[in-house]
Amino acid sequence: MFVHWAEVDNSLLIYTGATMLCGGAIFYRAKKNRMEKATPLCCSLLFLLTLEILCFSTLRSSLALALFSLACLTFCFCTPARALLPVDRKAVLITGSDTGIGHELAKYLDRLGFTVFASVLNAEGPGAKMLKETCSERLSVLQLDITSSAQIKDAYLEIRPKLQNADLWGVINNAGILGFVADGELLPMSSYKQCMDVNFFGPVELSKTFLPLLRKSKGRLINISSMAGGIPMPRFAAYGASKAALSMFSGVIRQELSKWGIKVAVLHPSAFKSSIGGNPEDWIKEEQTLLETLTPDVKKDYGEDYIHNLRSFFSQMNSVCSPDLSPVFSDVLHALLAEHPKGLYTPGKNSYLYLLMFCCTPLWFYDFFMSKIINIPCMPYALRTAKTKNSS
C-alpha cells in the first residue's frame, strides 16, 4: 500500500510539473500576443486542468504523460494568434515627429502602409526634411506646436480635406519634453508649467480637437506617457507630474469614450534612447537658469557642487537607455489594430515590474528600492556639513 501511494504521489508531481510548464507557455503566448480579455486564457487553463485529471485518473503511465504533454504543447503552439485589423484606408496623426520615438514611429507606420500625418515643431528642420526624403507619398509633414491652439486648429483644417477616402483612425500624442532633472525643490516654476503645457495641456487640447474625426471612424487615441507617470521617481517631479496627469486623463477618457466605440490606450515606456533628454549644451543652460532662480537659502543648503553634479545624472540615464525601440512600436501597433487593445502598455525593461512593485509593496520598501536604483552622486551641502559635525 505504501508503494502504491508513493507511485501515485510521484505521478501527481510529474503531472503537476507538466501542467505548470504548459500553463507557463500559455501565459507567455498570451502576453506575446497581447491577449486583452481573460476569458480565452481561463478557458485554456481550464482545458489543461480537465485534461490532466482525465489522464491521471485513467492512465497513470509514461504513455499517458507523453500524450498529455503532447496535447498541451499542441494546444499552446497551434492555437492561432489573434489577428490584427487591416491597415487599409487608415490614417494616423503622430505628434513630435522631429526626432526620437515620434520620428522613427512615423517611418515605421509609413512602411506598414498607414497614411501618416507627422507633425513636427519645425517644418523646415532636419527631421522634417528626412521624413520627406525617406518616406512614401502617403506621409505628410505638418507644422504643429501642440502648445499653440491656433496651430492645432490649423492642423485640423489641413488634415480633414486630405483624408479623402481614408478615415482618421488614430491620434498618437507622442510629443513631450523632459526638462532639467533635479530635486523638486530646486526646479523653477517655469519648468513645472512648461512640462504641463507640453506633456498634458497640449495632448488634451489636441485630443479634444480631433475626437469628432475619431468618433466617426470609431478609431484609437494613444497617449505616450512614461514610466515616471505611473510611479514616483526622484528628480522627476515636473516631468512625472505632467505624465501622471496625462495617464489619469487617458484612463478617465477611455471609460467615457467607450460608448462611442473609441478605444483609448496609454503607454508607460521605460528608458529608451531618444532626444527628449536634450544634449550637454541644453543641460548647461538649464543649470544656469536653475541657479539664477534659486533663493540664497536654498542655494546655500544644497550647494552649487550638488547642482553641478546633477548633470551627471543625464549621462547615467543615457547609459541605461535601450536603443531598440521595437517594444514601443509593437505596443503602438497593437493599440492601433487589435480588436481589443489594452488600456495600458508597459514596453521596455522593468517598466511593468516597477509599476507592480509600487502598487503591491509597502511604500518604505519601494522608497528604499528606488534610493538604491537611482544613484545620488553627492549629498546636499547642509546635510554633508551636519553629518561631519555629528561624526566629530
Catalytic residue IDs: 239
Cβ of 241: how many Cβ atoms within 10 Å? 19
- Cβ–Cβ < 8 Å for 382, 301: yes
Residue 259, classified by CB atoms within 10 Å of its CB into exposed (0-12), middle (13-18) or buried (19+), is exposed
Cβ neighbors of 13 (< 8 A, separation 6 or more) are: none
Residue type, 153: K
**Residue 167 bridge partners (DSSP):** 90
Cell of 182: 533635479
* The CA-based dihedral angle spanning residues 355, 273, 379, 305, taken in that order and rounded to the nearest 10 degrees: -160
Cell of 66: 507523453
What is the secondary structure of 55-97 as a DSSP string?
HHHH--SHHHHHHHHHHHHHHHHHSPPPPPPP-TTEEEEES--
* Phi, psi angles (nearest 5°) of residue 265: -135, 150
Q: Where are the beta strands (DSSP E) in the chain?
A: 90-94, 115-120, 140-143, 167-173, 220-224, 263-267, 344-345
Cβ neighbors of 235 (< 8 A, separation 6 or more) are: 181, 182, 183, 184, 310, 313, 374
- Cβ–Cβ < 8 Å for 120, 141: yes
Cell of 4: 502504491
- By residue count, the chain amounts to 392
Cell of 285: 543652460
- Cβ–Cβ < 8 Å for 166, 89: yes
